[in-house]
């Protein structure tokens, strides 16, 4: 639902209200907010301004070489206190729920505008270029959990063996449904999945570039090695093996992680991940879109290359267009199921600030094996 136009006055991004803020405060966020030509031009101008001065090549190489250290430092400072658990995943990506219907999921396209959103969803904080998302409301989370319980009751009569190492095979080799989250951080995606999806055939893998992040996941009280395997992995190193064979995964999740990789290495990363998918398996992505608030907030001297920036803490971020992501996935041999832009207006009640967020959500499927 778009914001009431009479309550909005188009201002530079992130500025304070100058018109009727009381009406805006009735809700915290609006989906599918249309941008005027003036607003689009203002965003484009801001990006041109903050991209006009690139960092020297030696500094760019330093951020590339030390990328792991910067992310380790981030998680040492914030541990699991910065990003909120992503319970919104189960609405946007029903492929992660226990009552999934793979055939239906693969044929449907879930439009942002066709779903009722929580008025509290998406409101987070932006700090040093990192922007977090808050949970959905308690009522929605309870609905998710109750759905999970119903599905678990239906599965109660099925035999449920302990998942894990099987006859010396890889972790989760006996599972019937395997999910890998890449860039798991402190577990804000993994643990909601494990808490919500009680499918006895589920096994979740998660990896991160940061050893500190993986330690946080493994030391979490919710970590269950019979259902989950966390490991350190450098996606950009094609000599670094995955703990699973090719064509063994049903779902790969990329939540605000592809944007942290150098643009020149993105295609290789997507190619590697596509090899892990079973025929019919899917990559689910949500990441920063072009002209998101986080991009417009960068200052001169933080730009590495077109739409690629370094934050004050040394971590990096890229801002995508739909076409760029489509090219990455289709070049890897995947077919488009969904590729949407979510333009959202958020309101920070305490600071009386408007924030225009731009995210892209994608689902791409590996073609099924041809029938003989």
The CATH number assigned to the domain holding 181 equals 3.40.50.150
**How far lies 201's CA from each of 121, 196, 204, 217, in Å?**
30, 14, 10, 21
Contacts 24+ apart (CB under 8 A), 67-71: 67/209, 67/315, 67/316, 68/209, 68/210, 68/211, 68/234, 69/314, 70/313, 70/314, 70/315, 71/208, 71/209, 71/210, 71/212, 71/213, 71/260, 71/315
Q: What is the pLDDT of residue 109?
A: 37
Domain membership of residue 122 (yes or no) is no
Contacts 24+ apart (CB under 8 A), 298-305: 298/50, 298/129, 299/50, 300/49, 300/50, 300/52, 300/53, 301/53, 301/55, 302/50, 302/55, 303/50, 303/51, 303/52, 303/53, 303/54, 303/55, 304/54, 304/55, 304/60, 304/63, 305/54, 305/60, 305/263
Q: What is the pLDDT of residue 239?
A: 85
The token pair at 184 is 């798991």
Q: What is the pLDDT of residue 59?
A: 86
Of residues 45, 64, 15, the one with CA closest to residue 347: 15
Using CB atoms within 10 A of its CB, is residue 325 exposed (0-12), middle (13-18) or buried (19+)? buried
Q: What is the pLDDT of residue 213?
A: 86
Q: What is the pLDDT of residue 12?
A: 40
Domain membership of residue 140 (yes or no) is no
Distance CA(10)–CA(346), nearest Å, equals: 14
**How far lies 342's CA from each of 31, 208, 232, 291, in Å?**
7, 26, 31, 12
Secondary structure tally for the chain: helices H, strands E: 12, 13
Domain membership of residue 38 (yes or no) is no
Secondary structure class of 59 (helix, strand, coil) = helix
Task: Compute the CA torsion angle 300, 302, 305, 308 (nearest 10 deg).
Answer: -120
Q: List phi, psi (to 5°) of 15.
A: -85, 170
Q: What is the pLDDT of residue 369?
A: 74
Domain membership of residue 120 (yes or no) is no
Domain membership of residue 254 (yes or no) is yes
Domain that holds residue 303: 50-96+171-366
Per-residue confidence in pLDDT tens, the chain, 372 aa: 444 333 333 334 444 333 344 443 444 555 666 777 888 898 999 999 999 989 888 888 887 877 777 767 766 665 554 455 566 787 889 888 876 554 444 443 333 333 333 333 344 445 445 555 443 333 333 433 333 333 333 333 333 333 333 344 899 999 999 999 999 888 888 999 998 888 999 999 999 988 888 999 999 999 999 999 999 999 888 888 999 999 999 999 999 999 999 999 999 999 999 999 999 999 999 999 999 999 999 999 999 999 999 988 888 899 999 999 999 999 999 999 999 998 888 777 666 667 788 999 999 999 987 655
What kind and span of H or E run contains 177?
strand 177-182
The token pair at 266 is 């993105």
Rg for the chain (alpha carbons), in Å?
Answer: 21
Domain membership of residue 139 (yes or no) is no
Domain membership of residue 15 (yes or no) is no
Distance CA(363)–CA(87), nearest Å, equals: 18
The domain total for the chain is: 1
Q: What is the pLDDT of residue 71?
A: 61
Query: 32 near 113, Cβ under 8 Å?
Result: yes
Q: What is the pLDDT of residue 82?
A: 47
pTM of the model: 0.74
Could you say which DSSP state residue 206 is in? E
Of residues 124, 116, 136, 88, the one with CA closest to residue 30: 116
Domain membership of residue 117 (yes or no) is no
Query: 321 near 43, Cβ under 8 Å?
Result: no
Q: What is the pLDDT of residue 226?
A: 95
């Amino acid at each position: 639902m778009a914001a009431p136009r009479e309550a909005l006055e188009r201002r530079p991004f992130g500025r304070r209200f100058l018109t009727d803020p009381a009406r805006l405060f009735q809700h915290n966020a609006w989906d599918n907010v249309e941008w005027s030509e003036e607003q689009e031009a203002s965003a484009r101008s801001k990006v041109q301004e903050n991209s006009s001065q690139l960092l020297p090549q030696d500094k760019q190489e330093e951020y590339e070489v030390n990328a792991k250290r910067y992310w380790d430092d981030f998680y040492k400072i914030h541990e699991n206190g910065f990003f909120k658990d992503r319970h919104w995943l189960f609405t946007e990506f029903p492929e992660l729920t226990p009552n999934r219907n793979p055939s239906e999921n693969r044929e449907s396209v879930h439009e942002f505008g066709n779903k009722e959103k929580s008025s509290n969803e998406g409101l987070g904080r932006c700090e040093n270029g990192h922007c977090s998302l808050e949970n959905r409301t308690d009522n929605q989370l309870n609905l998710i959990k109750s759905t999970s319980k119903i599905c678990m009751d239906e599965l109660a009569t099925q035999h449920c063996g302990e998942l894990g190492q099987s006859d010396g095979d890889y972790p989760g080799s006996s599972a019937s449904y395997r999910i890998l989250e890449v860039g798991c951080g402190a577990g804000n995606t993994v643990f909601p999945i494990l808490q919500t999806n009680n499918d006895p055939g589920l096994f979740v893998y998660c990896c991160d570039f940061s050893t500190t992040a993986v330690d946080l996941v493994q030391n979490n009280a919710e970590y269950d090695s019979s259902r989950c395997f966390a490991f350190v992995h450098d996606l950009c190193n094609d000599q670094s093996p995955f703990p699973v064979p090719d064509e063994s995964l049903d779902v790969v999740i990329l939540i605000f992680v592809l944007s942290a990789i150098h643009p020149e290495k993105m295609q290789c990363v997507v190619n590697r991940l596509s090899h892990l998918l079973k025929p019919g398996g899917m990559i689910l992505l949500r990441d920063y879109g072009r002209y998101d608030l986080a991009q417009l907030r960068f200052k001169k001297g933080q730009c590495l290359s077109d739409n690629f920036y370094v934050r004050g803490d040394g971590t990096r971020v890229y801002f995508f267009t739909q076409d760029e992501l489509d090219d990455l996935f289709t070049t890897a041999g995947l077919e488009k199921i969904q590729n949407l832009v979510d333009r959202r207006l958020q309101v920070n009640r305490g600071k009386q600030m408007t924030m225009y967020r731009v995210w892209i959500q994608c689902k791409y499927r590996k073609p099924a094996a041809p029938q003989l």
